[in-house]
Structure 1
């Protein structure tokens, strides 16, 4: 592989002259520039990304700021990332994942101050997210995959949680369910102002109230054990529940396990619908989960395209879009009281609290 020294020898110039041609740091005569470029072409020399960035004042690197815990990325989160990465690559950019959350503003300030990022995408957005203020202060272009409480002057793409929850509740109500429990994210996640958890909580109340039904939400830790505990609490508070709506992929498998442990059939005794879920996750369950399928890949792509418009045109035009999840009916939802057969034909529904 050719080096900068090889180019300098071929062109008959110093290494520093080759560097000046690449970076534009000093004026170089047209004749000398032509010799250097010709030598680069003959040697098939590929300048590194840093040198190209210095020449264009761009790094061609986009940062995806997404906090992660020990569980890493699930299939649904990965769809957001792959959609964004594909759009960045198609435009000649690299997407770098950085696990910086709302509580790590000092780390973000250090990263952004180095000017290594042409722009930033923010995921796991809180209603009051200090990362937004840091990036604005340092004039780093940004787009949210999610929404703060005040979106004035901010470009974002997000899930339409109002419509998504309404469609999920409507599906269960049409099947005949009247006692529906919503299993949300953890109490800490809600307390910290995580946008999706709060928006779905409010949307669930509105959707259930619109049908004249009492809403019951259970906050669950993001784990299978959290799902089992949430279901136990749900039966304690609503022994007649016939359907569970969940936006917690880690917990939903614990919910299914606890239902099986209690001898309750899905969907014959209790229907389960998972929200903001990828088809890959939905198909892992037995039965396969009826789900509100996440538009993650599309949101990731649109976010990058929006960010690049801000970067390339230095445009102040704000772009805001909501996309709903799409209902995909699989094997985990059906009319209430149908264990062992069609509605009304099966055996009596087991006692919810049975162990």
Structure 2
């Protein structure tokens, strides 16, 4: 493995000049910098991350706090993580996973106190998320992939769930559907104040009320079996349903099973619309799924960029709600059967 001295010898400069080129602590002429960088490329030089951290007092590591226990990192969330990883590496940072949920702030406090990361990205953000205080109490900056009830001047990048549910309800209502159900995330998420679940439910109820329609919603654990059971229960209690909106990636496949078992043809007897999912999930469904496309990697990238701005001593960029875009495919269509109010 090449050393800094090897680089210095090949570039015909002093060891200190190589160090100044790497750290930027003192000015180096453009010509000299070019020789040093050419030598590093020729030798495939990789700076020791421990030495870099000691020199700069930075770890060049960002931590992603994500509650992996009981939550599946599906295709949609994986796209967010992918965007964050790419943005971090472009800035010469690495991303590490801290598997901590909003119910474990003391675990996160301990991790933050170890100073093994320069900043923390929080995923699956609750409206009142104690992880924020846990991180900031240890002097680390955090960015929210999501949004708390009062994000103040912190970095946050969320999905516009209010607009997404309005678009979904409007799409179905415009095709004559008046009995539209909503399959949400789990009751545990709602009880914990998980932001997307709470905001989406509120937006669905408001969109239905504005049209004089009766909302019918159910919480559902994030797995296909729960989706099957929740949908079967909805159909048994509300046989008049002709459409369902699903904001639960893995439950979607259970929804499809329940509809088949009930003899409901999609979209002839039942329209299905997914919320904040990826195109990959749409393609995996029984029929290409009509869905509101999640912003995907852009959400992770923006959160990392914002966090790096703060770490660089600059003000946090304004928080942003990213829109989902409606992709009309094969699982939604006009009402074709009479329903009983």
TM-score (norm 1): 0.83
Shift of residue 135 of structure 1? 1.3
Worse overlay, 69-78 or 211-220: 69-78
CA distance in 1, matches of 2:336, 2:193: 37
CA distance in 2, matches of 1:88, 1:317: 17
CA deviations 1:56-103 (Å, max 9, x no partner) are 111111111111136642110111011111111111111112211112
CA distance in 2, matches of 1:229, 1:289: 20
CA distance in 2, matches of 1:188, 1:103: 11
CA deviations 1:185-211 (Å, max 9, x no partner) are 111111111110000010001100111
CA deviations 1:27-69 (Å, max 9, x no partner) are xxxxxxxxxxx9x979775431111111111111111111113
CA deviations 1:89-135 (Å, max 9, x no partner) are 11111111221111222221222112121111110001111110011
Equivalent position of 1:255 in the other structure = 255
Equivalent position of 2:159 in the other structure = 159
Equivalent position of 2:324 in the other structure = 325
Shift of residue 137 of structure 1? 1.0
CA distance in 1, matches of 2:223, 2:91: 38
> Contact between 2:125 and 2:195, CA under 8 Å: does it hold in 1?
yes
Deviation >4 Å, runs of 4+: 40-45
Q: Report how many aligned residue pairs link the two structures.
A: 321
Equivalent position of 2:138 in the other structure = 138
CA distance in 1, matches of 2:153, 2:44: 45
CA deviations 1:201-254 (Å, max 9, x no partner) are 100011001111111111112111111111122123322000000101111111
CA distance in 2, matches of 1:273, 1:43: 54
CA distance in 1, matches of 2:65, 2:240: 42
> Contact between 2:307 and 2:316, CA under 8 Å: does it hold in 1?
no
> Matches of residues 1-355 of structure 1 in structure 2 within 5 Å?
1-2=1-2, 46-69=46-69, 72-312=72-312, 314-337=313-336
TM-score (norm 2): 0.86
> Contact between 2:154 and 2:316, CA under 8 Å: does it hold in 1?
no
Change (3 A) 1:240 1:329: same
CA distance in 1, matches of 2:118, 2:242: 50
Equivalent position of 2:23 in the other structure = none
Change (3 A) 1:243 1:45: closer
CA distance in 2, matches of 1:180, 1:75: 26
Change (3 A) 1:229 1:55: same
Q: Compute the RMSD of aligned alpha carbons.
A: 2.9
Which protein shows a greater Rg? 1
SS of residue in 2 equivalent to 1:249: coil
SS of residue in 1 equivalent to 2:182: strand
Q: Is there any run of 5+ residues in structure 1 with no aligned partner, and where? A: 11-16, 23-37, 339-347
SS of residue in 2 equivalent to 1:327: strand
